[in-house]
Structure 1
Amino acid sequence: MIKVKPAGRIARIAGANRSERVLILASFVNRVGNGLFNAASALYFTLVVGLPAAQVGAALTIAGLTGLLAGIPGGHLADRRGPRTVMVLALGVQAAAMSALVFVDGWAALTVVATVDQLAAAAGGAAWGALVVRVGTDRPALFRSRLRTYVNLGVILGTVGSGFAVAANTRTAYLVLILGNAASFALCALVLFLLPNYAPVESAARSRRWAALTDRPFVAFAALYGAMGLHYPTVSLLLPIWISQHTDAPRWTVAAVFALNAAACVLLQTRIGSRIETLRDGGRAFRTAGLLFLVSCPMIALTAHAPVWVAAGLIIAAIFVHSLGEIWESSAGFALGFGLAPDHAQGQYQGLLGLGFSAGQALAPALLTTVVLGLGSAGWLVLGAFLAAVGATGPAIERWGARTRPAVEAEA
């Protein structure tokens, strides 16, 4: 048996080289700030600014949909000018937009500021995907799995911090969260200057602005990836409502669901993701994720018909299976998303992938609340069958993509 020293294992998880550790640190700092703000932002706008919840929702929806427009152009710019440059600029714009939120006093101002933030976030997200490829060298999917571990950990820590502001429930406490998030964007940008200023890939200048949109296998995968992303709001949106309104489970199970989901993703993401790197791995992992959701959704459906402690146990077991599905799905997305994209156009391809995912997330609340909650237990069965059907397409997408890539890229 080969024994691995704990220090070596920690070093691998923390990054294989200096550039990986720098990007992990930058992402961790940024996600701590996101966790501080996201968990309490709605409360700030409704309780402190005094906007109706419907207006807050409308402003954020408009901003989110408008932001989708910047993903592919931002990624194309990252391919031509270098991903670090575009990402630093995007982070600077987000830091300014987040700081401007402290002056928001009405719906129009919130809509404008949130839209600027989302446009920068979409462009920066595409550049970030291209940066992961450059930093992760020949194993970007594995590096992305490591990175996601720290991203999840950062969000958890930030969310814990936001709890103190929510408990205080004062304007000053909420402003500290907003400015803390703004500072995280600025600090993230500064940390990125420790990375090399990666030059564009040689053929990037010849890359067409909309080349990704003409790549049919990748467009199909982006759409399927967005559809599979419906499982994310299941934990944050559906389960709290389901537990409180449709089951006899103790209310503390709502907190247990979040804790178990976060812990599983932090502890298992790298372990599972390290085995999913090639296109073939990604296709199979996408299918496995769908099958895991096909198991977890019926388990959740049963909780409506179970006594109190049985319901609690079923929810805990179901969310563990669901978390495994989330890890397999995200790892498949890394392997296929990076593997199908040509090296000279990673930015715009990651922008298209982000567009598909964000579109799915924008539609998810309306679809899930009307279909799943509207149909009750049967709705969970429909959701599980849908996610399994989407996941089953993974191997076919992988084979289609491999046939249409140059032989060297497909093998990589």
Structure 2
Amino acid sequence: MKFRRILVHAQLAGSIGDGVFLVTSAFYFARIVGLSATEIGLGLTVGWAVGSVAGVPLGHLADRRGPRGVAVMLALATAAAVAAFLVVRSFPLFVLATSLYGTAQTGLSAARQALLAALVEPAERTVVRAALQATLNGGLAVGAALGGIALHLDTPAAYLTLFALDALTFLLTAGLLLALPAVPPGPVSPGPRLAVLRDRPYALVTLINAVMLFYMPLLSLVVPLWIATRTSAPSWMVSVLLLVNTGSVLLFQVRVARRIKGLRDASAAVRLAGLVMFAACAVFALSPYGWMFLLVGVVLQVAAEMLLASGSWEISFTLAPDDRQGQYQGFFGTGVAVARMLGPVVLTTLVIGGGPLGWLVTGAVFVAAGAAMAPAVRWALLRTSPEPA
């Protein structure tokens, strides 16, 4: 349908900007803004922390005011935050800009999920979400390639141009979202305004998913550090591993998602994701004995990533009340912010500090979290419908 293509195009535009930001932001903030590494890390952590808190109320706003209008507003706010980075030259203003950026990005994600839930039939939501995720990875790859050009040129003009392009991609995102059908706000249900904050079963499901999302810093931080300090593999292996990950999601994420037909399948997918992630960690632990272990490890890691994504999308949509998808998706999305904030510290401590044993401990945590999802989903169903998990 037409609006699905619009959703995909909007996802592509924003993800290109995100790819640019991910690749160039550290260099930009250090060389153009003039911040120290500590200031950059602290500012980004504060920004995502503020964003994680803002996700639920902004999701609630999408429920009450209509998700399309709120998504457009937050896309514009993201563009404004990126544009602010072009002129910010002090740490306090940097923290304010990153707080706006984290808030807008987290809220935009929640509003988009609510918009998807309103425009797509329940049976198709996970598949459409998978298509958006595949598009996201493609856009990140394009943005990363553009960022690589700026890194190669390494001039103020190159960095400023790319950040300006980042802001423009979110202006384009806002325009595309505006072309979607308007979704009227749902009726006000009885009960507390932010009901998700009192929904303990859904909170447990969200916590389990957040633990599973600790895989996120693996390829961007932990594996590169592991390669540099514990193996003899060349540094360009990092690019190869990222390419395998991105290409796999592009090719197979939708196929994996099509296998998820309900909460039982979704819970099983998350459980299997934990087991496969343990296998990936065990193989990565063997990588000092040969670079082929790195390739096998990343194949297992991306398989687990796709299983987790497909299962968690089905769970988050199905367990959320239809009239409160915005605030529920905003709450569920806080797992990403938590993984971004705590994952690097926890995983570098375990893996880089603990060596092969640290890899196995990390894998065991994924197994435990994956196994806990089905009982948590069953508990959540006790306050909704009797569908088995």
Structure-1 residue corresponding to 2:296: 317
Structure-1 residue corresponding to 2:241: 257
What is the distance in 2 between the residues matched to 1:366 and 1:46? 21
Contact 1:207 1:344 (C-alpha < 8 Å) held by counterparts: no
Structure-1 residue corresponding to 2:155: 170
1:350 aligns with 2:329: yes
What is the distance in 1 between the residues matched to 2:235 and 2:265? 39
Secondary structure of 1:40's aligned partner: helix
1:37 aligns with 2:21: yes
Q: Deviations over 1:329-370 (max 9, x none)?
A: 111110101011010100000011012331232111111111
What is the distance in 2 between the residues matched to 1:381 and 1:270? 30
Pick which of 320-329 and 115-124 moved more.
Answer: 115-124
Secondary structure of 1:56's aligned partner: helix
1:123 aligns with 2:107: yes
Match of 1:147 among 128, 132, 156: 132
Q: Deviations over 1:188-217 (max 9, x none)?
A: 000111111101223x45463220122221
Structure-1 residue corresponding to 2:82: 98
Q: How far apart are 1:285 and its partner, in Å?
A: 0.5
Pick which of 269-278 and 353-362 moved more.
Answer: 353-362
Structure-2 residue corresponding to 1:11: none
1:405 aligns with 2:389: no
1:180 aligns with 2:165: yes
Structure-1 residue corresponding to 2:317: 338
Match of 1:383 among 362, 376, 389: 362
Contact 2:227 2:233 (C-alpha < 8 Å) held by counterparts: yes
Secondary structure of 2:333's aligned partner: helix
Q: CA 1:206/1:181 → structure 2, altered by over 3 Å: closer, same or farther?
A: farther
Structure-2 residue corresponding to 1:8: none
Match of 2:121 among 137, 140, 154: 137
Structure-2 residue corresponding to 1:7: none
1:160 aligns with 2:145: yes
> Where in structure 2 are the equivalents of 1:294-305 lying within 5 Å?
294-304=278-288
Secondary structure of 2:232's aligned partner: coil
Amino acid in structure 2 at the alignment position of 1:294: F
Pick which of 99-108 and 354-363 moved more.
Answer: 354-363
Structure-2 residue corresponding to 1:46: 30
Contact 2:241 2:295 (C-alpha < 8 Å) held by counterparts: yes
What is the distance in 1 between the residues matched to 2:108 and 2:261? 24
Across the two proteins, how many residue pairs are aligned to each other? 388
Pick which of 229-238 and 393-402 moved more.
Answer: 393-402
Q: How far apart are 1:134 and its partner, in Å?
A: 1.5
Match of 1:248 among 225, 232, 236: 232
Q: Return 5+ residue gaps in structure 1 as ranges.
A: 1-16
Contact 1:149 1:270 (C-alpha < 8 Å) held by counterparts: yes
The percentage of aligned residue pairs carrying the same residue is 34
Secondary structure of 1:393's aligned partner: helix
What is the distance in 1 between the residues matched to 2:261 and 2:106? 25
Structure-2 residue corresponding to 1:66: 50
RMSD (Å) for aligned C-alpha atoms: 1.4
Contact 1:372 1:380 (C-alpha < 8 Å) held by counterparts: yes
TM-score w.r.t. the length of structure 1 is 0.91
Q: How far apart are 1:26 and its partner, in Å?
A: 0.5
TM-score w.r.t. the length of structure 2 is 0.97
